[in-house]
């Protein structure tokens, strides 16, 4: 029995960067028997098959999950409802469902809405960068040493939770559990809000142009890095924002308060106060980097 | 006469990353006969000398500029007044002064306040990243292909302007002229405001911590890059902000307007409007990167 993989048959719905990287990592870890790639785009599925990321493919979600042991949903948040609806009727009773989305309360809500046994859904968020997208960019090391947060509620099946924890650990993640609402709140602060601000700042700069000057010409490396996340997929981020509105608005309030305090200090020419605020930010960030054990 | 360098004797006041890199680049280009490094920190000057960045050193600003042909001021904006005051009385009549500071109207104001001939001051801003600081981080290629903006006013001595343009070009810069007020306005948008926002966001996130969770633990690559500039020198950026208050406050207004529009769309759950704003930002940024001819 030692040869039996963790997961006999895995169905990955959405074979992009995240779904593809999970598939690759699980194959590399010998943690899976067979992987079916599921999606709407025939060329993308063909590419995943050709790259050896999956063993077979299907564009019929209901059929594809019919004998799956684990289903990984790796699609934009905006189509969770459609996916749960499509698979709900054909999931085997023993199947466990997980996902990789950036907002967890929404995922749980949709699972409860459609699944006959929502306690077999184990919400997950592997926090891994996604600068590039598509199965071409997928790689087995994407999740290595990244945090994967599981947010099952109190009713979740403990065996299902254990299996999904083992699955993400096999992908290379450091797996931790937390409440879905806390997850959404913290991610709003460190991920969703920065995206909103980066998009807003690029739009603000774009409006500064005049007939003589293109403001972007004067931008350098600091601006490039600050705004890198403003090159992220608009539709993916629209979905995330829509799924976590309340927390993002609350974090926006917090940022506005900080900006208001800085505005006041700048207006007053209060160098000491400005330096204090800059210093506390630098110290907090530098301490984080040090804890993280990496350079800037 | 072909062997005569562009600058016979250069005094560099402030031998840090910027002053040190300019010195190295000018030596490499054989554009300078002798470089005197000037500063208050004896160990830093000794290091610059040891590294061969300068030919001799002095901690007496007035004495050091007495037979200089060109003086490069490469110190934080907050001590411009002290530097101009210290050197004003001993500058030879033929000497030309330039700087490398991030705000130009302030530099011009201080030059006019102290110099007997402010028309020999040619304000410059080489727009080069400064992630690390100090003469140890200086290198001859720092300015290669970077924009250097000269902001002389209408009274500036044309020969002085030509010489300083040649000097920064010898450093590897693409040299352009623009008005000091326009410079300060554009740089407020693409550089000063992002710094203010990055500091503010890190402070806001820092306040999210509770007894169970450290919010920074959930941050990944996007947050790291977005906040990289929040690890910049607080005192250097306090000085810059204080020297360009009006423009920064105006840009903050522009950002707040964009954030307000996004807040409204998020509050309304208006996915189309959110996607439109995110898309216009992504398009503007991607187009900039393409013009720039570099990847993200």
Q: What is the pLDDT of residues B278-296, one digit of tens each?
A: 999 999 999 999 998 754 4
Binary contact (B200, A227; C-beta < 8 A):
no
Interface residue of A78, A145, A178, A203 to substitute, partner B, most B CBs within 10 Å: A203
* In chain B, % of residues over pLDDT 70: 97
- Which residue on chain B is closest to A250 by alpha carbon? B263
Q: How far is residue B274's CA from residue B288's CA, in Å, rounded to a whole number? A: 21
Shared domain check, A226 and A92: no
Task: Determine, yes or no, domain membership for B1.
Answer: no
Q: How far is residue B223's CA from residue A196's CA, in Å, rounded to a whole number? A: 12
Q: How many CA atoms within 13 Å lie on the side-chain side of A142?
A: 28
- Residue A230 belongs to a domain with what CATH number? 1.10.3660.10
Shared domain check, A172 and A75: yes
Structural domain ending residue among the three candidates A178, A207, A228? A178
Q: What is the pLDDT of residues A241-259, one digit of tens each?
A: 999 999 999 999 999 999 9
Shared domain check, B171 and B140: yes
Shared domain check, B25 and B51: yes
Tokens of A202: 């690029």
Give the DSSP letter of residue A192.
I
The answer to whether ipTM exceeds 0.90 is yes
Please report, in angstroms and rounded to a whole number, the separation of the first and last CA atoms in chain B: 46
Confidence band, pLDDT 50/70/90 cuts, at residue A209: confident
Neighbours of B67 (CB within 10 A): 14
Shared domain check, A21 and A120: yes
Token look-up 């003589």 returns A212
* CB-closest option in A185, A190, A231 to B223: A190
Task: Determine, yes or no, domain membership for A2.
Answer: no
- A219 chain-B contacts, CB cut-off 8 A: 190-191, 288
Contact map slice: B 22-61 vs A, CB within 8 A = none
State how far the alpha carbon of B63 is from the alpha carbons of B37, B50, B107, in Å.
12, 22, 22
Tokens of A257: 């308060």
Binary contact (B289, A224; C-beta < 8 A):
yes
B8 pLDDT higher than 70 = yes
Shared domain check, A196 and A97: no
**Which pLDDT score is estimated for B11?**
98
Shared domain check, B170 and B29: yes
Q: What is the pLDDT of residues B11-51, one digit of tens each?
A: 999 999 999 999 999 999 999 999 999 999 999 999 999 99
Q: What is the pLDDT of residues A31-53, one digit of tens each?
A: 999 999 999 999 999 999 999 99
* CB-closest option in B201, B217, B231 to A194: B201
Q: Are strands A7-13 and A32-38 parallel, antiparallel or unpaired?
A: parallel
Task: Determine, yes or no, domain membership for A139.
Answer: yes
Neighbours of A294 (CB within 10 A): 9
Q: How far is residue A73's CA from residue B179's CA, in Å, rounded to a whole number? A: 55
- Which three-class secondary structure state does DSSP give residue A11? strand
CB of B146 less than 8 A from some CB of A: yes
A143 pLDDT higher than 80 = yes
Confidence band, pLDDT 50/70/90 cuts, at residue B131: low
Q: How far is residue B294's CA from residue A99's CA, in Å, rounded to a whole number? A: 34
Tokens of B195: 């710094």
Confidence band, pLDDT 50/70/90 cuts, at residue A210: confident
Comparing CA positions, the residue from B195, B213, B212, B211 lying closest to residue B203 is B195
Tokens of A85: 């609806």
Q: What is the pLDDT of residues A65-86, one digit of tens each?
A: 999 999 999 999 999 999 999 9
Confidence band, pLDDT 50/70/90 cuts, at residue B2: low
Total tally of structural domains belonging to chain B: 2
Contact B245, A267 (CB under 8 A): yes
Shared domain check, A173 and A212: no
Contact B14, B73 (CB under 8 A): yes
Contact B118, B95 (CB under 8 A): no
∠ Cα A241 A242 A244 (to 5°): 65
Q: Which domain holds residue A252?
A: 182-292
Tokens of B226: 């977005």
Shared domain check, A227 and A141: no
Task: Determine, yes or no, domain membership for B2.
Answer: no
Task: Determine, yes or no, domain membership for A97.
Answer: yes
B176 pLDDT higher than 90 = yes
* Stretch B57-68: mean pLDDT: 97
Tokens of B134: 């100090």
Binary contact (B259, A193; C-beta < 8 A):
no
Contact B41, B201 (CB under 8 A): no
Q: Are strands A124-126 and A70-73 parallel, antiparallel or unpaired?
A: unpaired
- Which three-class secondary structure state does DSSP give residue A8? strand
Binary contact (B216, A284; C-beta < 8 A):
yes
Task: Determine, yes or no, domain membership for B281.
Answer: yes
pTM higher than 0.90:
yes
Shared domain check, A66 and A119: yes
* Overall residue count recorded for chain B in this entry: 296
- A281 chain-B contacts, CB cut-off 8 A: 198-200, 202-203, 206, 230, 234
- The H or E element that residue A13 is part of is strand A7-13
Query: Dihedrals φ, ψ of A98, to 5°?
Result: -135, 175
Burial A71-85 (b: 16+ CB within 10 A, else e): bbbbbbbbbbeebbb
Task: Determine, yes or no, domain membership for A1.
Answer: no
Confidence band, pLDDT 50/70/90 cuts, at residue B250: very high
* Stretch B197-223: mean pLDDT: 94
Q: How far is residue B102's CA from residue B130's CA, in Å, rounded to a whole number? A: 12
Contact B25, B170 (CB under 8 A): yes
Shared domain check, B130 and B64: yes
CB of A199 less than 8 A from some CB of B: yes
Structural domain ending residue among the three candidates B178, B204, B232? B178
Contact B271, A278 (CB under 8 A): no
**Which pLDDT score is estimated for B296?**
40
Task: Determine, yes or no, domain membership for A269.
Answer: yes
Q: How far is residue A23's CA from residue B96's CA, in Å, rounded to a whole number? A: 64
CB of A201 less than 8 A from some CB of B: yes
Structural domain ending residue among the three candidates B160, B178, B196? B178
CB of A137 less than 8 A from some CB of B: no
Shared domain check, A205 and A134: no
State how far the alpha carbon of A203 is from the alpha carbons of A207, A253, B104, B227, in Å.
6, 20, 25, 19
- Residue A63 belongs to a domain with what CATH number? 3.40.50.720
Q: What is the pLDDT of residues B89-105, one digit of tens each?
A: 999 999 999 999 999 99
Neighbours of B148 (CB within 10 A): 24
- DSSP conformation letters of chain B: -TTS-SEEEEEEES-SHHHHHHHHHHHHTT-EEEEEEE-S-HHHHHHHHHTTS-SEEES-HHHHTTT-SEEEE-S-GGGHHHHHHHHHTT--TT-EEEE--S-HHHHHHHHHHH-S-GGGEE-EEE----SS-SGGG--TTTTTT-EEEE---TTS-HHHHHHHHHHHHHTT-EEEE--HHHHHHHHIIIIIHHHHHHHHHHHHHHTT--SS--GGGG--HHHHHHTGGGGS-HHHHHHHHHHTHHHHHHHHHHHHHHHHHHHHHHHHT-HHHHHHHHHHHHHHHHHHHHHHT---
A295 pLDDT higher than 60 = no
Binary contact (A196, B147; C-beta < 8 A):
no
Q: What is the pLDDT of residues A81-137, one digit of tens each?
A: 999 999 999 999 999 999 999 999 999 999 999 999 999 999 999 998 666 789 999
Binary contact (B200, A228; C-beta < 8 A):
no
Mean pLDDT value across chain B = 95
Confidence band, pLDDT 50/70/90 cuts, at residue A292: confident
């Amino acid at each position: 029995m030692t040869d039996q993989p963790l997961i006999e048959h895995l169905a990955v719905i959405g074979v992009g960067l995240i779904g593809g990287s999970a598939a690759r990592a699980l194959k590399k870890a010998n943690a899976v028997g067979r992987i079916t790639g599921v999606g709407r785009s025939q060329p993308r599925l063909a590419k995943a098959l050709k790259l050896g990321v999956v063993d077979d493919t299907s564009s019929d979600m209901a059929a594809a999950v019919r004998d799956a042991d684990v289903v990984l949903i790796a699609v934009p948040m905006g189509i969770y409802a459609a996916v749960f609806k499509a698979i709900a009727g054909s999931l085997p009773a023993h199947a466990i469902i997980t996902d990789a989305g950036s907002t967890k309360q929404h995922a749980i809500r949709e699972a409860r809405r459609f699944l006959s046994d929502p306690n077999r859904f184990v919400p997950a968020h592997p926090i891994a960068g996604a600068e590039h997208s598509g199965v071409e960019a997928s790689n087995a090391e994407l999740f290595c040493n990244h945090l994967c947060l599981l947010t099952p509620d109190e009713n979740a099946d403990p065996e299902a939770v254990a299996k999904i924890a083992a699955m993400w650990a096999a992908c290379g993640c450091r797996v931790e559990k937390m409440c879905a609402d806390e997850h959404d709140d913290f991610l709003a602060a460190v991920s969703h809000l920065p995206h909103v601000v980066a998009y807003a700042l690029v739009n603000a700069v774009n409006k500064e142009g005049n007939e003589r000057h293109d403001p972007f010409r004067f931008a350098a490396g600091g601006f490039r890095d600050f705004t890198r996340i403003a090159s992220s997929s608009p539709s993916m981020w629209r979905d995330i924002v829509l799924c976590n509105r309340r927390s993002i608005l609350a974090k926006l309030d917090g940022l506005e308060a900080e900006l208001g305090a800085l505005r006041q200090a700048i207006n007053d020419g209060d160098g000491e106060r400005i330096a204090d605020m800059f210093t506390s930010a630098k110290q907090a960030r530098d301490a984080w980097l040090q804890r993280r054990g990496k350079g800037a």
